[in-house]
Structure 1
Amino acid sequence: MSNIVLYMSPGSCARVSAIVLEELGLEFESRVVRFMKGEHKQPQYKLNNPKGKVPALVYNDQALTENVAIITYLNKLHGKLLPETGNELDSAKQIADLCFCNSTLHPLVTRIRMPSFFAGDENAKRVQDIAINAMDEFFHLIDDRLSHQDWWYKEQYSAMDAYLYWCFWRVQGAGYHVDKFPNYCEHAKKMEQRPAVQRAIARDEQAAKLLESEGLLFKPKPIKG
Structure 2
Amino acid sequence: MPDLKLFVAPNTCARVPTIALEEIGVPFDTELIRTAANQQNSAEFLKLNPKGKVPTLLINGTPLTENVAILSWLNATFPDAGLLPRSNSALEALQQTADLAFFSATVHPTVTRVAMPLKFIEDKELSFEIVRPVGIEAMNKIMAMIDARLKSGPWWYGDAWSVVDGYLFWVWARILGVGYPGDAYRNIQRHHDLSIARPAIQRAMLREEKNIEILKSEGLYIPPR
- For residue 182 of structure 1, what is the aligned residue in structure 2? 186
Paired residue for 2:155, among 151, 154, 170?
Answer: 151
* Aligned pairs (5 A) from 1:96-115: 96-115=98-117
> Are 2:222 and 1:214 aligned?
no
Tell me what 2:83 maps to: 81
Q: TM-score, normalised by structure 1?
A: 0.95
Q: For the residues of structure 1 that align with 2:8 and 2:177, how far apart are their CA atoms?
A: 22
What's 2:35 paired with? 35
Q: Tell me which residue corresponds to 1:48.
A: 48
Give CA-to-partner distance per residue, 1:55-85, whole Å, 9 cap, x none.
0001111110111100100111101210111
Q: Distance in 1 between matches of 2:187 and 2:101?
A: 22
In structure 1, how many angstroms separate the alpha carbons of the residues matched to 2:200 and 2:46? 29
Moved over 4 A (4+): none
Tell me whether 1:134 sits opposite 2:138 in the alignment: yes
CA deviations over 1:184-224 (Å, ceiling 9, x no partner) = 0000000000000000001111101101100111235x6xx
Q: State the one-letter code of the partner of 1:211.
A: L
Opposite residue 146 of structure 1, the aligned amino acid is L
2:126 to 123, 130, 135: 123
Unaligned runs of 5+ in 2: none
Matching of residue 93 in structure 1 with residue 58 in structure 2: no
Secondary structure, in 3 states, of the residue corresponding to 2:222? coil
Task: Give the SS at the match of 2:120.
Answer: helix
Q: Which amino acid aligns with 2:187?
A: N
Q: Tell me if the contact between 1:112 and 1:175 (Cα under 8 Å) persists in the aligned partners.
A: no
- What per-residue deviation string (whole Å, max 9, x for no partner) do you get for residues 1-45 of structure 1? x92111000111000010000000011111100112221111211
- 1:80-113 deviations in whole A, cap 9, x for unaligned? 2101111111111101101111111111111111
Instruction: For residues 124-146 of structure 1, give each alpha carbon's deviation from its aligned partner in whole angstroms, at most 9, with x where no partner exists.
Output: 12110001001111101110111
> Which secondary structure state, in structure 2, belongs to the residue aligned with residue 6 of structure 1?
strand
Gaps of 5+ in 1: none
Query: 2:204 is matched by which residue type in structure 1?
Result: A
SS at match of 2:151: helix
Q: Letter of the 2:88 partner, please give it.
A: G
Distance 1:121 1:183 in 2: 33
Aligned to 2:44, the other structure's residue is in SS state helix
The CA deviation at 1:176 is: 1.1
| CA-based RMSD | 1.2
Other structure's SS at 2:114 match: helix
Is residue 72 from structure 1 mapped to residue 72 from structure 2 by the alignment?
yes
Q: 16-25 or 53-62, which moves further after superposition?
A: 53-62
CA–CA distance in structure 1, aligned partners of residues 186 and 48 of structure 2: 39
Identity between Structure 1 and Structure 2 (%)? 40
